[in-house]
């Protein structure tokens, strides 16, 4: 496979997608720290994720490592539905161009996907390898236990179930039917958008 160009180990950043040494798999940097040690050559401490398997590993990058740019095509896609452990999508404007990804590849943000949500998909060598879920999603509360009188003064939280089946901690004043804005990266309640 032709490399598009080399990346220096100290040019790695969070979100950099690359191939390393002789490994044909595409990887993405999820954590990055550049370390200089006395009497030793500097290294980059990385956490990298395999874009095909979803497996994350710690990796120490040295200046003699070879990193290559990879050709990733970004497309707009639409989430259709989820089965037990697979998410199904189609390309925007092409309902017949369907593809699926295993739940571990989509990650925990997939719990907040609802039908017809537009996402970004990334294709590598003709195969979709990754999707980016919107960082903020507005979702309806399907079930919320009632707040017990006197609880609200402490500003506590309770577990609520969203329309997608995801469970999040929300303030005690949240009720069934409310629309909540959820941060899909952290899985946390951000704000109430609409009261039931």
Q: Enter the CATH code of domain 6-69.
A: 2.30.30.30
Q: Which fold has domain 136-194?
A: OB fold (Dihydrolipoamide Acetyltransferase, E2P) (2.40.50)
Close Cβ partners of 63 (under 8 Å, ≥ 6 residues apart): 8, 9, 10, 41, 42
Write down the pLDDT at residue 3: 44
Among candidate residues 147, 183, 148, the one with its CA nearest the CA of residue 162: 183
Q: Which of 76, 82, 77 is nearest to 163 (CA)?
A: 82
Instruction: Check if 6-69 and 136-194 are the same fold.
Output: no
Q: Which of 78, 94, 85, 93 is nearest to 131 (CA)?
A: 78
- The distance from CA 126 to its chain's CA centroid, rounded to whole angstroms, is 21
pLDDT of residue 1: 41
* Coil, helix or strand at residue 36: coil
Spatial CA neighbour of 20 closest among 65, 62, 72: 65
- Using CA atoms, how far apart are residues 179 and 17, in angstroms rounded to an integer? 35
Kindly report the CATH class assigned to 72-132: mainly beta
Token pair belonging to 140: 């309806």
- pLDDT given at position 155: 66
Domains in the chain: boundaries: 6-69, 72-132, 136-194
Q: What is the mean pLDDT of each run of 10 residues along the chain (196 residues)?
A: 66 90 89 86 90 86 88 94 94 95 88 96 89 95 82 74 96 95 95 94
């Amino acid at each position: 496979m032709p490399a598009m160009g080399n990346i220096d180990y100290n040019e790695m950043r969070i979100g950099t997608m690359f191939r390393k040494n002789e490994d044909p798999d595409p990887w993405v940097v999820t954590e990055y720290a550049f370390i200089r040690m006395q009497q030793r050559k500097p290294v980059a401490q990385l956490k990298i994720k395999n874009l095909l398997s979803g497996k994350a590993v710690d990796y120490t990058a040295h200046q003699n490592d070879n990193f290559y740019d990879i050709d990733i095509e970004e497309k707009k896609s639409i989430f259709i539905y989820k089965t037990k452990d697979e998410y199904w999508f189609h390309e925007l404007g092409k309902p017949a161009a369907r593809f699926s990804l295993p739940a571990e590849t989509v990650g925990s943000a997939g719990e907040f996907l609802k039908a017809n949500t537009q996402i970004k998909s990334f294709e590598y060598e003709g195969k979709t390898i990754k999707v980016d879920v919107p960082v903020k999603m507005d979702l309806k509360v399907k079930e919320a236990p009632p707040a017990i009188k006197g609880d609200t003064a402490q500003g506590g939280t309770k577990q609520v179930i969203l329309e997608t089946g995801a469970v999040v901690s929300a303030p005690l004043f949240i009720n069934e039917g409310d629309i909540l804005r959820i941060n899909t990266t952290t899985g946390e309640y951000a704000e109430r958008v609409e009261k039931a």
